[in-house]
Amino acid sequence: MKNSNQTVIRVGIADLKFVKAPDTIRTLGLGSCVGVVVYDDTKRIAGLAHVLLPDSSHTKQTNLNAFKYADTAIPILVDELVRNGASKLRLKAKIAGGAQMFQFTSNSDTMRIGARNVDMVKEMLKGFEIPIVSSDVGGNSGRTIEFDPITSELKIRKVRSDEYVI
**For residue 92, what pLDDT is reported?**
98
Which is higher by pLDDT, 102 or 149?
149
* pLDDT surpassing 60 at residue 1: no
Q: How crowded is residue 42: how many other Cβ atoms within 10 Å of its Cβ? A: 10
* pLDDT surpassing 90 at residue 160: no
* pLDDT surpassing 80 at residue 135: yes
Q: What CA dihedral angle connects 56, 133, 40 and 15, to 10 degrees?
A: 30
Q: Terminal CA-to-CA distance of the chain, rounded, Å?
A: 16
**For residue 106, what pLDDT is reported?**
56
* pLDDT surpassing 80 at residue 2: no
Residues labelled catalytic = 33
- Give pTM, 2 decimals: 0.91
Among the residue ranges 13-17, 45-49, 107-111, 143-147, the one predicted with the least confidence is 107-111
* pLDDT surpassing 80 at residue 99: yes
pLDDT, averaged across the chain: 90
**For residue 108, what pLDDT is reported?**
58
Q: Which fold has domain 8-165?
A: 60s Ribosomal Protein L30; Chain: A; (3.30.1330)
The residue length of the chain stands at 166
The residues, ordered by sequence, that sit 6+ positions from 8 with a Cβ below 8 Å of its Cβ are 2, 23, 24, 25, 26, 146
Residue 154: which of 43, 30, 25 has the closest Cα? Answer: 25
* pLDDT surpassing 90 at residue 59: no
Q: Predicted confidence band at 109 (pLDDT cuts at 50, 70, 90)?
A: low
Q: What CA dihedral angle connects 23, 70, 52 and 47, to 10 degrees?
A: 0
